[in-house]
Amino acid sequence: MPEPRRVQLNEIDDLADMITAVFGFEKWYPREQIIAGLRKPVTRRDTLIIAEDGKPVSHIRVVYNRLSVYGCEFKVASIGAVSTRAEYRGRGYAGAILDFALEEMFDRGVKILIVSGDRGLYRRNHCARAGRLYETVVGRGFASPISGLSVRRVTPDDWHLLAPLHQAESVRFVRPAGFISRLPFWWDCEHPELWLVESGRQPVAYAMLSVGWRREESKRRRELHDYAGSRAALVDALPAIFATGEIDEIGIRATGHDSELVHVLKQRGLSLHERTLGGTHRIIDLPGLMKALQPYLAGRLPARELRRLSFEQTGAGCVIRFGDEALELTLSEAAPLVLGGPKAPRVSGDLGRVLSTIFPIPFPMPGFNYV
């Protein structure tokens, strides 16, 4: 079998044609845009392929980011455009290239993998549905006091207006200035609209609303994929967004740890439904993740209990110990335990009490970091 490797500059055109053919991107992206995105050095560095017959035949794009959870930072990775030419499928190429990517993620210090998809290839590699979201739908008839708020559309070039709101979030991706220009071309595959909410001239919240690239545009529906700032202002500004006449319905998703937004939505009379974060997640390095989260853990467990808690990982399994108690898990079971979700294993005894105190850890929606 050919070995996985990084794409070479002279293979970009063929790779763009392959990705377009597999995913039907020609409906949304000019070929030149795809090629320009793949030519970026940062993109080529983390674009992995298997080549045969002188051309790329299987592909995975890896994107590396950092998360901040109450000030504790750690590295995460996402994968996108995972694809194999139709005539080369069934040869194990996708599995081989994913194995190569997972090993490289571990070597580069990644703690959690975020996958937008949920199929057999990912499940076999211990990715699982995990995390928590609360969903609701708001229609054009939604009424809420605006109290002097105004809304206006902005572009990604206005990130300097949004960055202070985002940086104040306790759970967030770490996004430096200019980060959008370094994201792969498909970051906006859902055609996002950026709405800035202001009180007077002061930005107080923003919302990234996505059309959804698989939806018919005539449905005039948007999905909230990224937000920051005042939750009350965000919800109170929805009637002003509807008043533009462009939107009839907005699907709102509040992350599981966002008790403020959940409270505001319920206070406005909206019914919420619990879901997972979407796609699948895999724990890459459980001991490393928990080491990075030590300050977070120290705020939730007494020091004497924290010293008795340990995390081990070998291959596709891990062990969590608390004193004489031990919990053995596969990595497929670890993701819903750590991030939350209906498939989280039930744990009894003192170990169960301790784990229910520290898990699930808060985790954001990918938003702009979607791959």
Q: What per-residue confidence (pLDDT) applies to 364?
A: 95
Alpha-carbon Rg for the chain in angstroms: 22
The percentage of residues in the chain with a pLDDT greater than 90, rounded to a whole number, is 75
The percentage of residues in the chain with a pLDDT greater than 70, rounded to a whole number, is 96
CB-based contacts of 118, cutoff 8 Å, min separation 6: 127, 129, 279, 280
**Is 124 a member of any domain?**
no
Q: Is the pLDDT of residue 252 over 70?
A: yes
CB-based contacts of 136, cutoff 8 Å, min separation 6: 251, 252, 265, 270, 271, 272, 273
Query: Do 193 and 93 fall within a single domain?
Result: no
* Mean pLDDT to the nearest integer, 258-280: 95
Residue 132 pLDDT grade (very low, low, confident, very high; cuts 50, 70, 90) = very high
**Is 218 a member of any domain?**
yes
**Is 370 a member of any domain?**
no
Output the CA torsion sign for 267, 270, 271, 273.
Answer: negative
Query: Do 248 and 294 fall within a single domain?
Result: no
Q: What per-residue confidence (pLDDT) applies to 213?
A: 58
Domain-ending residue, one of 251, 275, 299: 275
Query: Do 233 and 342 fall within a single domain?
Result: no
**Is 280 a member of any domain?**
no
* Mean pLDDT to the nearest integer, 168-186: 86
DSSP state of 128: B
- CATH assignment of the domain containing 19: 3.40.630.30
Domain-ending residue, one of 219, 250, 275: 275
Query: For the whole model, what pTM was predicted?
Result: 0.94
CB-based contacts of 239, cutoff 8 Å, min separation 6: 142, 143, 144, 146
3-state percent breakdown (helix, strand, coil) of the chain, nearest 5: 35, 30, 30
Residue 207 pLDDT grade (very low, low, confident, very high; cuts 50, 70, 90) = very high
Q: What is the pLDDT of residues 303-319, one digit of tens each?
A: 999 999 999 999 899 99
The answer to which of 174-188, 265-279, 323-337 has the lowest mean pLDDT is 174-188
Question: Which one has a higher pLDDT value, 210 or 110?
Answer: 110
Query: Do 258 and 300 fall within a single domain?
Result: no
Query: Do 89 and 176 fall within a single domain?
Result: no
Q: What per-residue confidence (pLDDT) applies to 212?
A: 65
Q: What per-residue confidence (pLDDT) applies to 135?
A: 97
User: What beta strand segments (E) does 176-303 contain?
Assistant: 192-199, 202-210, 221-229, 249-255, 273-275, 280-283
Residue 189 pLDDT grade (very low, low, confident, very high; cuts 50, 70, 90) = low
Query: Do 103 and 190 fall within a single domain?
Result: no
Tell me which residue range forms the domain holding 318.
Answer: 285-358
Q: What per-residue confidence (pLDDT) applies to 30?
A: 79
Q: What per-residue confidence (pLDDT) applies to 145?
A: 63
Residue 7 · residue 47 · CB < 8 Å: yes
**Is 121 a member of any domain?**
no
Closest CA to 50 of 99, 2, 122, 121: 2
Question: Which one has a higher pLDDT value, 58 or 145?
Answer: 58
* Mean pLDDT to the nearest integer, 94-108: 97
Question: Which one has a higher pLDDT value, 178 or 320?
Answer: 320
Question: Which one has a higher pLDDT value, 53 or 1?
Answer: 53
Query: Do 259 and 289 fall within a single domain?
Result: no
**Is 118 a member of any domain?**
no
Residue 103 · residue 40 · CB < 8 Å: no
Domain-ending residue, one of 206, 241, 275: 275
Q: What per-residue confidence (pLDDT) applies to 32?
A: 84
* Mean pLDDT to the nearest integer, 114-126: 94
Count: domains in the chain: 3
Please state whether beta strands 221-229 and 249-255 pair in parallel, antiparallel, or not at all (unpaired): parallel
Query: Do 187 and 266 fall within a single domain?
Result: yes
Query: Do 271 and 292 fall within a single domain?
Result: no
Query: Do 302 and 260 fall within a single domain?
Result: no
**Is 367 a member of any domain?**
no
Q: What per-residue confidence (pLDDT) applies to 214?
A: 55
User: What beta strand segments (E) does 13-109 contain?
Assistant: 47-52, 55-69, 72-84
Query: Do 42 and 140 fall within a single domain?
Result: no
Question: Which one has a higher pLDDT value, 246 or 282?
Answer: 282
**Is 113 a member of any domain?**
no
* Mean pLDDT to the nearest integer, 264-288: 96
Maximum distance among all alpha carbons in the chain? 64
Tell me how far the alpha carbon of residue 323 is from its chain's centroid: 34
Residue 217 pLDDT grade (very low, low, confident, very high; cuts 50, 70, 90) = low
Query: Do 179 and 252 fall within a single domain?
Result: yes
Q: What per-residue confidence (pLDDT) applies to 164?
A: 96
DSSP assignment string, 137-150: EEETT-----TTEE
